[in-house]
Amino acid sequence: MASSQNPTSSPWKQVFSEWPADVPRRGVLVTTHAEQIPFDGFAVGPEFLFLDRTTPDTIGGRQILLTYDQLALLKFTDVIKAKSLGQLGLIVPPGGK
């Protein structure tokens, strides 16, 4: 069944569009096909996310273009401060780290 979500209003697009300035633009993206993509740079488009891989994939690919509906999970490889989490639209409870 196809997703009824409009890719231009994807929460993933919002996360990458509003990436906090004090957080390095790197991490590991996991796709809906369970592919893990380490990246160290990205560009946001209306319907696509462009990633710079940290190392080439098995066939030499250094960059990748994905639709937002292919994104399943984002792993941060750097420590994220509470202030930065707020910029991503998350709420850190009082007393939380």
The pLDDT tens digits for 76-93 are: 999 988 888 888 888 888
Structural domain containing residue 60: 7-78
pLDDT in tens, 24-35: 999 999 999 999
88 inside domain: no
35 inside domain: yes
| pTM reported for the whole predicted model | 0.83
Residue 10's DSSP bridge partners are: none
45 inside domain: yes
Confidence (pLDDT) at 87: 85
64 inside domain: yes
Name the domain count of the chain. 1
93 inside domain: no
16, with CB counted inside 10 A (0-12, 13-18, 19+), is buried
Q: What is the mean pLDDT of the chain?
A: 89
90 inside domain: no
CATH code assigned at 55: 2.30.30
Q: Could you tell me if 40 and 78 are in contact, meaning their C-beta atoms sit under 8 angstroms apart?
A: no
CA separation, residue 36 to residues 64, 76, 82, 89 (Å): 12, 12, 26, 24
Confidence (pLDDT) at 72: 97
85 inside domain: no
